[in-house]
Structure 1
Amino acid sequence: MVPGNINLTQLQTFLWVSSLRSFRKTAEKMNTTQPAISSRIARLEETLGVRLFERDTGSIQLTAKGLELLPYAEKLLRTSALLVDRISQDEDYVGILRLGVSEVIVHTFLPDFLSGLHQKFPEIEVDIVVDATANLRRELIERSIDFALLMGPVTDYQIENHDLIEFDVIWAAAPSLKIETDRELSLDELATSPLITYARNTRPYADLSRQLRKNTELPARIYSSSSLAAIHRMALDGIGIANLPRQMIQADIINGHLQQIQCVWHPPSLKFTASYPTEPYNPVIEKIVHHALDVSRSYRKQIETLVPLATQ
């Protein structure tokens, strides 16, 4: 029998199934149906004359021949992607980018990122997921999203991380609360007002709770929220003292809508990364990473001119 042809779509499908261990998830990822994925794998197995996957109830595993094919498939698709990347123009890329972002990014440089992305890749559609970092990490690892701007790095061997930007976190309150601003307050003094911070499943909340347990005499009132916009609004409305990224609220400080409050304990800064799965190889994602890094550098230069004014 003369072997049939193997096409790149079959190999790409094989790599996604081997990575996700699911025909259903692969179908969602490749924007097709589960029967179509099964058919591609069946045709590939028929052409090669071997079984590539063992299909048990609720489990898909590579066979020995599947493991043997894996590096060849990766090399062929990487070579193909590099060829297309070399020959094509950026504006020729078509597809959907599933982008995960932390809310801090939404309120800082996401508009610049999206504007530049549209100019570079006008045919790419963007599906944006705004969520807590813990959820975005899980979705990256499960390949539910292609790329994320989140509090990183993501500690998974299949995820690559690039340092993006670091946000200083400060205490801020509305002038109506009449909190002293000419000296450093103790945590006990600070905690006489409600303290507004991130949701309970976040590092900022855990850091604050730990410091309050260690360094305050009286129980503190913590108002937590999963919405950064809600935290910002509560601070502006004089509900309490909030810890917020300086870069997000510096215009409010300059305009006098908020005041920076000095405290002996400073909330740790928030470090963000551009993170994405390394396999299967996707040259477009690498271009988008470089774009994100360029935008973050430009944003840092912009805010550096405003920070001295915000601290006066």
Structure 2
Amino acid sequence: MVDDIVLEVVTIANTEQKEVRIGLSHLYQRYFKPFLIALHREQAGLDIKVVVSDSGYLERLLIERDLDFALIQHPADTGAFDCIDLKPVQLVAVAPKSMDEFSNCTSISMTQLLSREIIMLRRSSGSGTFEALQEQFRKQGISLNNTLTMSQPEAILDMLESGMNCVALLPDSEISPSHRTDCHVMKIEQAPLVFFPSIVKLTSTRFIHDVDRLIRDLEDYA
């Protein structure tokens, strides 16, 4: 959950005057939580600063050298970046408990989504997963009723739990155990892959040794 991870800037005890500046996308806050916890646990002498925003903004901070690396969606334009790509995250459909028609559903087809009001993720600027999904739907002749777009999975889940009768399209990694209890979470049949978490830095910079080792140790490293 959002309370379990840094929302603005996290500073961890600085005993050796070492600092690492990390960008964390709203899109993958839960996905990258184990990495940040391991970094905190193993590097007590490292001053860690985490900025949480959308992937597009964090890419700009990388280019401006205000971050050392970022945990974000794989960039559309990788020209300036080195990327360590991790396993794609599955797209799932999430509906509130008040939508009784989904009570016994474990999966839903793309065509079944046609008649539903949809909430989708969309970054504040630039092209991202929203545009990628729209393109995939167009190729299949599907036109969705988009009633709302938001930038944070947790904000969307809060809306559903508060009774908004819509179906949200979200990365499976961001659905917590409590959300799986409080909402209907369904696999999407033949769902397109659009969520590609990546650890990104400028080609002209390098990871400090300890961070590089933790990245190699990620269980989901592909």
Q: TM-score, normalized by length of structure 2?
A: 0.74
> Residue 291 of structure 1: which of 205, 209, 214 is its match?
214
- C-alpha deviation, 1:156, in angstroms: 4.1
Q: Tell me which of 227, 236, 242 is aligned to 2:161.
A: 236
| Equivalent residue for 2:118, pick from 195, 199, 217 | 195
Look up the match of 2:90.
Answer: 168
2:22 counterpart residue number: 99
Amino acid in structure 2 at the alignment position of 1:246: D
Task: Give the equivalent residue in structure 1 for 2:197.
Answer: 272
Secondary structure, in 3 states, of the residue corresponding to 1:167? coil
For 1:247-302, what per-residue CA distance to the aligned partner results, in whole angstroms no more than 9, with x for missing partners?
Answer: 221524653x222335556242411111112435x551x431331342x31xx59x
Corresponding position: 1:224 with 2:149: yes
Q: 1:278 to 1:182 in 2, by over 3 A?
A: closer
Structure 2 distance, partners of 1:183, 1:271, is: 22
| 1:246 and 2:172 correspond | yes
User: CA 1:258 to 1:154, structure 2 compared with 1: closer, same or farther past 3 Å?
Assistant: same
Kindly indicate which of the two structures has a greater share of residues assigned to strand: 2
Alignment gaps of 5+ in structure 2: 1-13
Q: Give matches, 1:2-21, under 5 Å.
A: none
Secondary structure, aligned partner of 2:155: helix
- TM value normalised by structure 1: 0.55
Counterpart position of 2:37: 115
1:97 maps to a residue whose letter is: V
The one-letter code matched in structure 1 to 2:168 is A
Deviation at 1:202, TM superposition (A): 4.5
1:260 to 169, 181, 185: 185
Tell me how far apart the structure 2 counterparts of residues 228 and 288 of structure 1 sit (CA, whole Å): 27
Distance in 2 separating the partners of 1:172 and 1:183: 10
CA distance in 1, matches of 2:120, 2:185: 15
In 2, Cα distance between equivalents of 1:116 and 1:264: 34
Sort the Cα spacing of 1:203 and 1:98 in 2 relative to 1 into closer, same or farther, 3 A. Answer: same
1:145 is matched with 67
Partner of 1:132: 54
* Greater relative contact order (Cα < 8 A, sep 6+): 2
Distance 1:184 1:123, change over 3 A: closer
> 1:99 offset after TM fit, Å?
0.6
Looking at structure 1, the residues matched to 188 and 78 of structure 2 have their Cα atoms a distance apart, in angstroms, of 36
Deviation, structure 1 residue 169: 1.4
| Structure-2 separation of matches of 1:165 and 1:120 | 24
Contact 1:98 1:126 in 2 (8 A): yes
Q: Are the equivalent residues in 1 in contact too, given 2:30–2:173 (CA < 8 A)?
A: no
Answer whether contact 1:137 1:154 (CA < 8 A) is retained. no
1:23-62 to 2 correspondences below 5 Å: none
Tell me the distance in 2 between the aligned counterparts of 1:289 and 1:235: 38
Bigger Rg over Cα: 1
**% identical equivalent positions:** 20
Q: 1:246 to 1:252 in 2, by over 3 A?
A: farther
- Whole-angstrom CA distance in 2 between matches of 1:250 and 1:283: 30
Q: Is the 8 A contact 1:195 1:222 kept in 2?
A: yes
One-letter amino acid of the structure 2 residue matched with residue 225 of structure 1: M
Maintained 8 Å contact 1:193/1:241: yes
